[in-house]
Amino acid sequence: MLTLVGPEGAGKSHLGAIWAGVSGAITLRGEALNDESVEACGRAYAVLFEDADRAAQSEALFFHLINMALQNDVWLLLTCRAAPDAWGLNTPDLLSRLRLAPVVRLAAPDIELTEAVLFKLFSDRQLQVEPHVVAYIALRIERSLGAAREIVAMLDNEALTQGRRVGRAMASDALREMASKSEAP
């Protein structure tokens, strides 16, 4: 069992999907945890358990899933936004088992990675954006892949609406709009 912890957009699901593909793992989701998930875990060789922190609402099932994996020598990769100690678990044995797993933490992307992601996202949408505009955006957005996706989608829509290329002024307007959304209650 391994726990992969990081903020939204840090790449947990991407890394998990690569691991699942290589290992032949099935994928289960924390918010969809049910009896069938536990049974599937018992039959699997490897399990990618996405958003494990959201399974904390079904502690008894989660505890059973962990035990099933351990008893059947199932490789288990948990992805979550925070380490198990921060989930507010009430089942001491569940927390104890989760604490036994090594934890790998993914940090928010640095400026270089943020720029690279922005270039890729713009390219995926067939938008040509000057490097100085990408650098301008990368310095001002939240350091997350989710924020990068959001700003690129906004700029793509705006470029289509206005019928012009993405420039610094358009990026500045989009950044202001994103900031006002995040400040709104």
Q: In the chain, what are the domain boundaries?
A: 2-105, 111-183
The pTM of the full predicted model, rounded to 2 decimals, is 0.73
Task: Check if 2-105 and 111-183 are the same fold.
Answer: no
Do the Cβ atoms of 18 and 94 come closer than 8 Å?
no
- Given a cut of 90, whether residue 118 has pLDDT beyond it is yes
Lowest mean pLDDT among 39-48, 54-63, 92-101: 54-63
Structure tokens at 31: 């918010």
For the CA atoms of the chain, what is the radius of gyration? 20
What single DSSP character describes residue 103? Answer: E
Q: Are 21 and 157 in contact (CB under 8 A)?
A: no
Fold of 2-105: Rossmann fold (3.40.50)
Using 50, 70 and 90 to split pLDDT, how confident is the model at 109? Answer: confident
Q: Write the class of the CATH domain 111-183.
A: mainly alpha
Question: Are the CB atoms for 3 and 69 separated by under 8 Å?
Answer: no
Cα 185 to Cα 180: distance, rounded to the nearest angstrom: 10
Whether the predicted pLDDT of 144 surpasses 90: no
**Which pLDDT band, with edges at 50, 70 and 90, does 180 fall under?**
confident
Q: Is the model's pLDDT at 108 over the cut of 80?
A: no
- pLDDT computed for residue 39 by the predictor: 92
Order of strands across the sheet that contains 75-80: 26-29, 46-50, 75-80, 2-5, 103-105
User: Would you call 37 helix, strand, or coil by DSSP?
Assistant: helix
